[in-house]
């Protein structure tokens, strides 16, 4: 069939399942553009393959398994990406594994492998791009495939698209609130005067923060995002060169801010001199970033011809899933 | 397509899930009707979770045990694993007393677990079914524990869900009582509001909602007071709303609101074997419900708010030697309220008044 595309979904946690559910919900619309068939789904413990493609109902039922539960299915196999590629030859590789900022693995190897197998890549995993942005882009160009990554930064707002659409601008600086978890926590602390650990507990309980919140609180997530944005605007920086100050805010700091009409925000920035950092900053209430609360994200782009500010949703699971799907649609058209 | 809301009163024991699934299969699925199933928590679970949210952790163990028994009954390791995962997350949240959205997350656990269990029970009965997370479909304002559904956005999401359900030929199972605000933060709709979820879905889709419960319908009076009370056959939206505001058992005022707003659906209330009450846009004259609180007696029904009815009622009351202190009605509501001096036993007087009302006066 013309425009038939086979997809492999690698990583089947909350985002992976939301993406698959969305794919089934939108399959009617997508069919007008191309025939998409999910031929492989893999989680950390196993994988299931179906060369003819899983039906929408089969996909929905996979989403109802316990986390890391693919292995419980009788037809499942041990996770083996090489075997996956030899058995089902996907055209589009959707990488939704968790980020590992030390090695980039398993996402980095998965993406390299996919590109070398001439599959387009759509990733919501930031780590491989934060660590090897230009290498991966070069490899993709060489293999004539695309990498979609619009869900990696401000997933609920078309920031990456906007940046790619202003290529003639020279971007001098970027300042942003790029992490929804820490912004939610800081907003709770300011509004309810609760300690940071209590704000974290709330964020975890309602599914905003991960059980292991260190990637958010130590600034890795925001740092990775500022690296990706910088690379998109051709201001290449390395993740290891981003100065990270972990989020550590006491109630006394919040009280002081209230007295002085300031707010504390966890800001990620790229300065005109190339310095990049992530740190808690006291902002005046008049600062456009100061009023960005809860799970909202914002970014202020300083260019040679003016400033652009974008406020919108960060990457919750639904927004991320939508962006991943839009990237999939983008690469197959 | 129809909506079936399975209330907590019919989910008391582990075997009730399979029984419910079988009844759904027999009544609708075998007739090629795909129901949208709205589930409540098992009986008593929400109360236990509210206490747990205030620090009584042992009650969370009780909730876990009840749903693990359902998993045993279904022979489902998958359900057991998911119950354990959900309970562990809530246990983490309950390390300290909680409020706001966190409390909503905790007290809605029972509905989430019922959604998972009911889907698996339906599959065990050979019914194609799939889970729908209410936070993905029911969009509300941001009041964490008494939220109002935003109909416009919810309608768009519902239409997508129906499209999917039709294509999959599978019944969606969604938890009642739960929604999420525009930021995706979980909210609850207030106690007893799974009906609100069901009537909202039915109203938006212009279809019928079946509310399955342990009583045969909305009763004409409290059977504990009036032995001859029976289910009201037909109630209009307006009558149902007045009855709900008076606190009549089995009715939630919020659940009536979407019916009045969309004016497009019927609600049928009863047990699996007897559907006693239908709430519809049709207005049938006559007294429908008699209820009382102390010396205040209320009569609900179209036409009871007229001088003619009031005069007949006064004559009946006189014959019963009931002295009326005051009477109140207006033309906008199908309701008449009176305050009476009840010299004999209240129960007996009300029973006699009921007999008069539902025979002579009407």
d(CA A332, CA A34) in angstroms, rounded, equals 8
Of the partner residues A66, A205, A313, the one whose CB lies closest to the CB of residue B92: A205
- Tell me what pLDDT residue A28 has: 84
d(CA A7, CA A20) in angstroms, rounded, equals 11
Residue B155 covered by a domain: yes
Cβ atoms of residues B324 and B317 within 8 Å: yes
d(CA B362, CA B358) in angstroms, rounded, equals 6
Residues recorded for chain B: 362
Contact assignment for B161 to A64 by CB distance below 8 Å: no
Residues 183-212, chain B: which have Cβ within 8 Å of A? 183-186
Across-strand partners of B329? B336
- Tell me what pLDDT residue B361 has: 46
What is the four-CA torsion angle of B277, B280, B284, B286, rounded to 10 degrees?
A: 50
Instruction: Express each pLDDT in A171-192 by its tens digit.
Output: 999 999 999 999 999 999 999 9
d(CA B159, CA A28) in angstroms, rounded, equals 13
- Interface of chain A toward chain B, CB-CB under 8 angstroms: 21, 24-25, 27-28, 56-57, 60-61, 63-67, 69, 72, 198, 201-202, 204-206, 211, 294-296, 313, 316, 318
Cβ atoms of residues A218 and A244 within 8 Å: yes
Instruction: Express each pLDDT in B52-83 by its tens digit.
Output: 888 888 899 999 999 999 999 999 999 999 99
A301 and A165 assigned to the same domain:
yes
**Is B49's Cβ below 8 Å from some Cβ in A?**
no
A8 and A149 assigned to the same domain:
yes
Residue B256 covered by a domain: no
Q: Catalytic one among A225, A275, A279, A282?
A: A225
Q: Choose, out of A55, A156, A206, the residue to mutate when testing the contact with B (most B CBs < 10 Å).
A: A206
Nearest CA in chain B to A18: B136
B247 pLDDT band, cuts 50/70/90, is confident
Nearest-CA distance from A321 to chain B in Å? 13
Instruction: Express each pLDDT in A273-315 by its tens digit.
Output: 999 999 999 999 999 999 999 989 999 999 998 999 999 988 7
Of the partner residues B81, B95, B186, the one whose CB lies closest to the CB of residue A206: B186
Residues on chain A touching B105 (C-beta within 8 angstroms):
205-206
With a cut of 50, say whether residue B31 has pLDDT above it.
Answer: yes
**Which two structure tokens, joined as six digits, stand for B204?**
């938006």
Pick the closest to residue B213 from B275, B255, B120, B265 (CA basis): B275
Contact assignment for B183 to A25 by CB distance below 8 Å: no
Across-strand partners of A308? A301
Cβ atoms of residues B140 and B189 within 8 Å: yes
Which of A37-41, A286-290, B23-27, B314-318 is predicted least confidently?
B314-318
- Tell me what pLDDT residue B279 has: 96
Instruction: Express each pLDDT in A106-147 by its tens digit.
Output: 999 999 999 999 999 999 999 999 999 999 999 999 999 999
- Tell me what pLDDT residue A209 has: 81
- Tell me what pLDDT residue B43 has: 96
A249 and A111 assigned to the same domain:
no
Domain that holds residue A111: 4-155+317-332
With a cut of 50, say whether residue A321 has pLDDT above it.
Answer: yes
Asked if A225 is an active-site residue, the reply is yes
**Which two structure tokens, joined as six digits, stand for B332?**
């906008």
A180 and A55 assigned to the same domain:
no
Residue B252 covered by a domain: no
Task: CATH number of the domain at B299, please.
Answer: 3.30.70.260
- Tell me what pLDDT residue B362 has: 44
Contact assignment for B89 to A205 by CB distance below 8 Å: yes
Of the partner residues A57, A61, A295, the one whose CB lies closest to the CB of residue B183: A295
Other CB atoms within 10 Å distance of the CB of residue B247: 11
- Environment class of B325 (CB within 10 Å of its CB; exposed 0-12, middle 13-18, buried 19+): exposed
Task: Tell me how many domains chain B contains.
Answer: 2
Q: Choose, out of A60, A68, A207, A315, the residue to mutate when testing the contact with B (most B CBs < 10 Å).
A: A60
Pick the closest to residue B83 from B95, B67, B106 (CA basis): B67
Residue B165 sits at the vertex; the CA angle it makes with A90 and B237, to the nearest 5 degrees, is 155
Residue B226 covered by a domain: no
Task: Tell me how many domains chain A contains.
Answer: 2
Domain that holds residue B299: 289-361
Query: Chains A and B: how many Cβ contacts under 8 Å?
Result: 72
Contact assignment for B81 to A25 by CB distance below 8 Å: no
Residue B144 covered by a domain: yes
Pick the closest to residue B78 from B92, B67, B89, B62 (CA basis): B67
- CA distances to A100, A217, B154, B295 from B324, rounded to whole Å, are 78, 69, 48, 10
d(CA B300, CA B287) in angstroms, rounded, equals 6
Which residues are CB-contacts of B315 (< 8 A; sequence separation ≥ 6)? none
d(CA B169, CA B128) in angstroms, rounded, equals 7
Across-strand partners of A281? A265
Task: CATH number of the domain at B86, please.
Answer: 3.40.1160.10
Contact assignment for B93 to A201 by CB distance below 8 Å: yes
Residue B241 covered by a domain: no
B345 pLDDT band, cuts 50/70/90, is low
A317 pLDDT band, cuts 50/70/90, is confident
B344 pLDDT band, cuts 50/70/90, is low
A60 and A197 assigned to the same domain:
no
Contact assignment for B167 to A27 by CB distance below 8 Å: yes
Q: Is B278 helix (H, G, I), strand (E, B) or coil?
A: strand
Nearest-CA distance from A64 to chain B in Å? 7
**Is B119's Cβ below 8 Å from some Cβ in A?**
yes
A216 and A267 assigned to the same domain:
yes
Which ipTM value was assigned to this complex?
0.85
Task: CATH number of the domain at A291, please.
Answer: 3.30.360.10
Instruction: Express each pLDDT in A200-258 by its tens digit.
Output: 988 887 778 876 789 999 999 999 999 999 999 999 999 999 999 999 999 999 999 99
Which residues are CB-contacts of B252 (< 8 A; sequence separation ≥ 6)? B190, B192, B193, B195, B196, B244
B155 and B298 assigned to the same domain:
no
A123 and A182 assigned to the same domain:
no
Percentage of residues in chain B with pLDDT exceeding 70? 97
d(CA B295, CA B61) in angstroms, rounded, equals 44
Contact assignment for A61 to B130 by CB distance below 8 Å: yes
d(CA B276, CA B131) in angstroms, rounded, equals 29
φ, ψ of residue B297 in degrees (nearest 5): -115, 135
pTM for the full model?
Answer: 0.89
- Tell me what pLDDT residue B172 has: 98
Nearest-CA distance from B81 to chain A in Å? 6
The 3 state secondary structure assigned to A167-210 is CCCCEEEEEEECCHHHHHHHHHHHHHCCCHHHHHHHHHHCCCCC
Sign, Cα dihedral of A29, A34, A38, A44: negative
């Amino acid at each position: 069939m013309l425009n038939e595309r086979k997809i492999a979904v690698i990583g089947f946690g909350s985002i992976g399942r939301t993406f698959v559910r969305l794919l089934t919900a939108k399959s009617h619309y997508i069919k007008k553009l191309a025939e998409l068939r999910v031929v492989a789904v893999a989680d950390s413990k196993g994988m299931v393959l179906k060369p003819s493609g899983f039906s929408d109902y089969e996909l929905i039922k996979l989403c109802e398994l316990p986390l890391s539960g693919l292995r419980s299915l009788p037809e499942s196999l041990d996770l083996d990406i090489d075997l996956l590629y030899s058995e089902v030859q996907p055209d589009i590789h959707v990488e939704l594994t968790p980020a590992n900022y030390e090695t980039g693995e398993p996402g980095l190897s998965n993406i390299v492998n996919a590109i070398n197998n001439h599959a387009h890549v759509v990733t919501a995993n930031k780590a491989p791009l934060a660590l090897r942005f230009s290498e991966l882009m070069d490899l993709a160009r060489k293999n004539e495939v695309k990498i979609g990554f619009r869900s990696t930064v401000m997933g609920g707002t078309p920031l990456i698209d906007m940046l790619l659409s202003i290529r003639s601008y020279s971007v001098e600086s970027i300042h942003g609130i790029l992490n929804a978890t820490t912004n939610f926590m800081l907003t709770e602390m300011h509004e309810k005067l609760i300690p940071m650990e209590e704000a974290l507990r709330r964020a975890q309980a309602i599914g905003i923060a991960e059980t292991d919140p260190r990637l958010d609180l130590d600034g890795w997530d925001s740092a990775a995002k500022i690296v990706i944005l910088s690379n998109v605007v051709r201001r290449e920086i390395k993740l290891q060169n981003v100065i990270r100050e972990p989020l550590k805010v006491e109630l006394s700091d919040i009280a002081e801010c209230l007295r002085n009409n300031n707010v504390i925000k966890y800001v990620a920035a790229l300065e005109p001199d190339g310095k990049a950092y992530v740190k808690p900053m006291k902002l005046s209430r008049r600062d456009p970033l100061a009023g960005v609360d809860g799970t909202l994200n914002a970014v202020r782009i300083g260019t040679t011809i003016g400033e652009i500010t974008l406020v919108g949703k960060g990457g919750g699971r639904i927004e991320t899933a939508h962006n991943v799907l839009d990237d999939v649609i983008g690469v197959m058209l | 397509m129809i909506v079936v809301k399975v209330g907590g009163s019919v989910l008391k024991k582990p075997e009730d899930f399979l029984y419910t699934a079988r009844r759904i299969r027999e009544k609708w699925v075998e007739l090629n009707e795909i129901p949208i199933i709205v589930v409540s928590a098992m009986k008593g679970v929400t109360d236990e979770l509210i206490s747990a949210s205030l620090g009584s952790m042992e009650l969370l163990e009780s909730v876990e045990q009840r749903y693990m028994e359902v998993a045993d009954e279904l022979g489902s390791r998958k359900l057991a694993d998911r119950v354990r995962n959900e309970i562990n997350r809530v246990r983490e949240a309950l390390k300290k007393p909680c409020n706001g959205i966190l409390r909503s997350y905790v007290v809605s656990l029972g509905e989430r677990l019922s959604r998972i269990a009911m889907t698996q029970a339906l599959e065990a009965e050979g019914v194609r079914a799939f889970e729908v997370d209410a936070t993905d479909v029911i969009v509300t304002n941001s009041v964490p524990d008494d939220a109002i559904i935003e109909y416009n956005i919810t309608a768009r999401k519902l239409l997508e869900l129906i499209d999917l359900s039709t294509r999959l030929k599978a019944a969606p199972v969604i938890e009642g009582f739960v929604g999420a605000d525009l930021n995706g933060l979980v909210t609850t709709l207030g106690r007893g509001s799974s009906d609100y979820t069901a009537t909202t879905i039915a109203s938006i889709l212009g279809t019928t909602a079946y509310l399955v419960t342990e009583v045969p319908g909305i009763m004409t009076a409290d059977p504990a007071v009036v032995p001859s009370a029976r289910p009201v056959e037909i109630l209009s939206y307006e009558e149902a709303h007045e009855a709900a505001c008076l606190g009549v058992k089995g009715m939630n005022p919020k659940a009536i609101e979407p019916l009045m707003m969309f004016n497009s659906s019927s609600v049928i209330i009863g047990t699996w074997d007897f559907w006693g009450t239908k709430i519809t846009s049709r207005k049938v004259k006559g007294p429908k419900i008699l209820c009382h609180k102390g010396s205040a007696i209320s009569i609900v029904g179209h036409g009871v708010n007229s001088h003619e009815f009031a005069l007949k009622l006064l004559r009946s009351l006189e014959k019963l030697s009931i002295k009326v202190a005051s009477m109140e009605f207006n033309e906008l509501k199908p309701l008449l309220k009176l305050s009476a001096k009840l010299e004999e036993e209240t129960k007996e007087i009300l029973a006699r008044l009921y007999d008069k009302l539902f025979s002579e006066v009407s």
